[in-house]
Structures are given as structure tokens and as C-alpha cells.
Amino acid sequence: MKGKLPAIQAAVIPVPLGIVNAFVLRGGRSVIVDTGYPGSADVFLKKLSEIGIKLEQISLILITHAHTDHSGSAAELRQRTGAPVAIHQLDAEFLRSGNNPPLHPTGTLSRLLMSLPVFGRTAKAPPLEPDILIEGEMSLQKFGIDGEILPTPGHTPGSISVLLNGGEALVGDMIMGDLIRRKRPSYPLVADNIVQLRESIKLVMQRSPKVVFIGHGGPLEPERIYRKFLATACR
């Protein structure tokens, strides 16, 4: 990628990959946000073809956190698109190893669900050396997207969110949809640090997003997030 790309208010295009949501941000160029489990690349590329995005239009592959249901196809998508892969430096070691960070259930129900194969699946991903290490807030302007990356630790130490200037927020697994009512917000099944997680929710909500896209379920209305987390995260 050469030079600065024109930044255009991006459209958020969901890419459902089984139980996981990935996304494409379509602006001056296109940015992939998360990649699904290992083996999801063909489905992802088919979606790109359907919406008219060419491989050479992908300027960045952005990983919200290093759980393999979100990072598992990053290596193959980088190989096939030529786009660099970015992840926060605190999650980079897990991308390099292909292993998940430690999984810490957030409650009794989480511990029960994590014992089930569909929820506790810990597929190993192809090891990948990231091209870009995120250290703090980072603009997406040079990748053709009118928005920024915001570190939002808690689910994992290096979790990040994307805030677009059009009012959309993509928060990975900082929040997930209720297991039955998928557009009702709830805590993720696992969190590295629940205190950090609450502070990250508060931080994103202070930016007044218009809609919040999540890795499992959603999208979420901000009002529902305020009602759910106000007592603990938004005081």
C-alpha cells in the first residue's frame, strides 16, 4: 500500500461466519475486521466477491482480539489479499503462536457453557507474525476509512474497538448478544479482567455511538447497552 488513501465515511458490511460475526468496512478502500475460525477464508472471499470488492481493494486486516474464532483465518486472508494484519501488541503473542489467550469464564452459566464443545471450542490457528502492532489510539485514515481504533482491554489484554465517524462502533467481544435474544446486550462468556472490561464499555459509550456491532449477535442499540451496564460501567 503506497501513500495516503482517500478516507470516506465507511459502510459496515457484516460477514456472518457461523457463530461469529466478521465485518468489512467499505470506504475509500476496504478494511476487514476479524476473520472467523480457521477455514473461513473461502466464505469470506465469496462475500467480498458478492458485494463487488476486489482483493486488491483490501487495505488492512484488523483483528479485534486474538481468540481464534476471530483471528483464525487471518493468515490465509493475508496470503490471498496481500493486506497487512494489525493487532494490539498485548495480544500479538497469541497470534504468533496460534493459541487462544487464557479463557476466564465471567459467571456460573459461562463456566457451564464453556464446557460444551460449541462454546468451549479452542481451535488452533495457523501462526502469524502481525505486520502492524497497535499500541494506542490509531487513525484508519491512511487505510481509506474515516474512523479510529481504540484500545478496549478486558475481554483480552489487547482487545480493541473501531469507532467510525458515521457513529458506528465495532467492539469485538467486549459485549456479546444474549444467548437467546441476540440483540440484547450481555457480558461476554469470558473476560481476562472484568474491571477493565467495564471501563472499556464506559469508554466506548462516552463516544455516543449510534449503533454497536458485536462479534456474537447484535447489532445493539446504544440505549440497551446504557440500561444494561449503566450501574456498573457508566457511573
Residue 66 included in any domain: yes
Whether 126 maps to a domain, the answer reads yes
- Residue 53 in any domain: the answer is yes
pLDDT, residue 233, reads 42
The rounded distance, in Å, linking the Cα atoms of 126 and 183 is 32
C-alpha cell read off for 156: 483480552
Task: Determine what percent of the chain is predicted with pLDDT higher than 90.
Answer: 79
Number of domains into which the chain is organized? 1
Higher pLDDT: 154 or 110? It is: 154
Burial level of 65, CB count in 10 A (0-12/13-18/19+)?
buried
Single-letter code of the amino acid located at 112: L
Q: Is residue 114 part of a domain?
A: yes
In a domain, 46, yes or no: yes
Residue 184 lies in a domain: no
Side chain identity at 63, as an amino acid letter?
I
Between 54-58, 70-74, 119-123, 170-174, the lowest mean confidence (pLDDT) is in 119-123
Q: In the prediction, which pLDDT does 8 show?
A: 67
Question: What are the pLDDT digits (tens) for 59-118?
Answer: 999 999 999 999 999 999 999 999 999 999 999 999 999 998 888 888 777 777 777 665
Predicted TM-score of the model (pTM): 0.91
Residue 118: what pLDDT? 59
pLDDT at 219: 97
Measured over the CA atoms of residue 73, residue 74, residue 75 and residue 81, the dihedral's sign is positive
Q: Where are the alpha helices (DSSP H) in the chain?
A: 41-50, 68-71, 74-81, 92-97, 108-114, 117-120, 194-205, 222-233
- Per-residue pLDDT band at 187 (split at 50, 70, 90): very high
Is 186 among the domain residues?
no
Range of the domain at 85: 11-171
- Calpha distance 173→182 (Å, rounded): 13
In this structure, is residue 49 part of a structural domain? yes
Please write the tens of the pLDDT for every residue from 199-223.
Answer: 999 999 999 999 999 999 999 999 9
CATH number at residue 112: 3.60.15.10
Q: Give percent of the chain with pLDDT exceeding 70.
A: 89
